[in-house]
Copies of this chain bind each other. A is one copy, B any other.
Amino acid sequence: MKKTFFTALLLSLGGVVFSQSSDELQLKAIYQSALTKGQGYQWLDYLSNQIGHRLSGSDNAEKAVQYTKAQLETLGLDRVFLQEVMVPKWVRGAKETAYIKDGKNKIEVPICALGGSIATPKKGLLAPVIEVHSIKELETLGTALKGKIVFYNRPMEAEYIETFNAYGHCVDQRSSGAREAAKYGAVGTIVRSMNLRLDDFPHTGNQSYGDLPQAQWIPTAAISTNGAELLSKKLKENPQLQFYFKQSCEQMADVLSYNVVGELKGSETPENIMVVGGHLDSWDLADGSHDDGAGVVQSMEALRILKQLNYKPKNTIRVVLFMNEENGNRGGKKYAELAQTNKENHVFALESDSGGFSPRGFSFECNDEEFAKFSSWKGLFEPYLIHSFVKGHGGTDIGPLSSKHIVKAGLKPDSQRYFDYHHAANDTFDAINKRELELGAATMTSLLYLMDQKGL
């Protein structure tokens, strides 16, 4: 493999072999460090199994802030610090219950409140159901929706190769389905979980009432894909059936929380800052090992590897563990705001927030010229089976960052399994493969290294 790679380099690059060869050696050292000396898996074990879910504003989220700060302090970085940020606090309350009421039959189905939803009345909500497959369909139904529970049942489409595309074409049902149905007098919404497979896990996730007056807010919950299939089938048999659900979630006052930042000072242009990060908060149904414990520990690992290899970056490199990506992105916004206040010049930001699966490549937010340049590095990544360089979204946390000129990138892991776990009770540590996680960390570190050396 190495030999082939080197031959390819010689063929494609002619005289520039010396510098490429040193890059090749550096990437080899990075991957080797990740695979043989990695700490990320142990960090994630602690975050997942000793701390647990890290919903913004929860005690666990604060424990995660303190734990990751303390771990970063062991790495010998130049600076580790916290950034204060006020975050929303939404609490789920007692476990939700739901059933299909078909005549005298009650068939229980697994649901969970969507983040930001209001509670049902204390005794729960019982109403007839109308199944729809899009928000647009509400227009046609109009007044027929009054007093009804709207059941959004458009599945994620299997034929998309990248599952995030299937998600993108479905998630409006979850994020704004309640707001839109409420406008027609619906009393609640039930949304098919954003999950490509059929199983019994309801998947939570954020939703927003937007500028709808609070008096019009209606409770909304996700139903497992098996539950959705069953409800749809039962509705065909008996369009008069009713659905019952009960949830006691509540939006509390905002609370103080933190972004966690660790820094390696640049040796040549320390005023230029490069960020690598993920988000420390998670949903509350599981450990959030993939979303985004993986991104957190991979970002920490990037700095551990650079330190262990005694790499002196030209630019300042920061790991940023953002708070509150899931339901507000307050950490991302705060980080960007402080960067502007402090007149910091961010030149690059790299995020991992697509799960800890085998890395396949990156998506770059950059211009065509830059993309051509980054694409010329692909040969260096081939021995590590990283092939997919595309233009696209970098990440939600780094989204608000702006500078005179900044390149953003997102790690692209294999996406096939992501929505099996996303925001569900099975997003736990046992769904993480150590090597896949480590290869992702090495891939990120390699891009940071190349950006630092020749990206700017």
Contact = CB atoms under 8 A, between A and B. Distances in A.
A335 B146 CA distance: 68
A285 B428 CA distance: 26
Interface in A411-429: 414, 416-417, 420
Contact of A416 (B32, B165, B417, B439): B439
A329 B367 CA distance: 54
A360 B436 CA distance: 14
Contacts of A416: 358, 433, 435-436, 439
Interface stretch (A85-93, A200-208, A298-306, A379-387): A379-387
Nearest to A436: B416
30 contacts: A1-B162, A1-B165, A4-B390, A31-B161, A32-B159, A35-B159, A36-B159, A158-B435, A161-B383, A161-B384, A161-B385, A161-B439, A162-B385, A163-B435, A197-B435, A358-B358, A358-B414, A358-B416, A360-B385, A385-B387, A385-B388, A385-B414, A387-B387, A387-B388, A414-B414, A416-B433, A416-B436, A416-B439, A417-B433, A420-B433
A434 interface: yes
A132 interface: no
A82 interface: no
Contacts of A161: 1, 31, 383-385, 439
What does DSSP make chain A's interface, helix, strand, loop or mixed? mixed
Interface string A178-192: 000000000000000
Nearest to A387: B387
Interface residues of A, number: 31
A127 interface: no
Interface of A: 1, 4, 31-32, 35-36, 158-159, 161-163, 165, 196-197, 358, 360, 383-385, 387-388, 390, 414, 416-417, 420, 433-436, 439
A306 to B, nearest CB: 18
A386 to B, nearest CB: 9
A80 B35 CA distance: 47
B1 A435 contact: no
Contacts of A439: 161, 416
A260 to B, nearest CB: 28
Nearest to A165: B1
Contacts of A31: 159, 161
A5 to B, nearest CB: 11
Contacts of A1: 161-162, 165
A164 B244 CA distance: 52
A360 B159 CA distance: 18
Given A161-B439, A385-B414, A416-B439, 15 more contacts: A1-B165, A4-B390, A31-B159, A161-B385, A162-B385, A197-B435, A358-B414, A358-B416, A360-B385, A385-B387, A387-B388, A417-B433, A417-B435, A417-B436, A420-B433
